[in-house]
Homo-oligomer: A and B are copies of this chain.
Amino acid sequence: MSLSLAQARTIIDAALAQGRAEGAQPLAIVILDAGAHPVAMMREDGASLFRFDIAKAKAAGALGMGADTRILATRAAANPVFFQSIAAATGRLALSPGGVLIRDADGAARGAVIGAVGISGDTGDCDEACALAGIRAAGLSHGDMQ
C-alpha cells in the first residue's frame, strides 16, 4: 500500500484544524511517501520562510533514520557529534519533534511505513500533536520502526 493524495489531504486538513483549535503559530506541513518524495504540502499565511524546509527535513529525517524526530532528537542530545554530521551529510534532518512516520493501519499489528508527516511553525510538541491528529483522522497509525 502506498500513501494516496486523498489520504495526504485528509492528514493536512486535520492537522491544520488541530493547529487552529490550539491557537498555534502559522504552520507548514509536508507529507512524503515512503521514498521521501512529496505528495502534498501547504504553508499557512504568515509562516516564516524556513518553515517549509524544516517541515520537509523533519519528515525526511524520520524516514531516513526510521524513527520519529522526537526520538531522534533525544538520541541526538546524547550523541550530538554523530547527529550533526548526519544532518550535514544528508541536508535532510531537523532534530525537533514534529516528524512522524505514517504506518498502514493493519488491525492490531503494526503496519508498514508508507510515508511521513513533517510540521513546523510552533513548538515541537505542538507541531507533533498536529501531525498525530492528522494521521488519526486518516485512519492510519504511526510510530517509529522496531
* 22-70 of chain A: CB within 8 A of chain B: 33-45, 48-50, 52-54, 57, 60-61, 63-66
Name which residue of chain B comes closest to A145, CB basis: B48
Q: Which residues of B contact A5 (CB under 8 A)?
A: 42-45
With contacts A50-B65, A83-B81 known, is A4 near B89, CB below 8 A? no
Q: Which A residues lie at the B interface, using CB under 8 A?
A: 2, 4-5, 8-9, 33-45, 48-50, 52-54, 57, 60-61, 63-66, 73, 76-77, 79-96, 124, 145
Q: Which residues of B contact A48 (CB under 8 A)?
A: 63-66, 145
Q: Which residues of B contact A49 (CB under 8 A)?
A: 35-37, 60, 63-64
Name which residue of chain B comes closest to A97, CB basis: B82
Given A35-B35, A38-B43, 7 more A-B residue pairs with CB atoms under 8 Å apart are A4-B45, A38-B41, A48-B66, A54-B86, A61-B85, A76-B81, A81-B95
> What are 13 A-B pairs at a CB distance below 8 A?
A5-B43, A36-B49, A40-B40, A48-B64, A50-B90, A57-B86, A73-B81, A76-B81, A77-B81, A82-B96, A85-B95, A87-B89, A88-B88
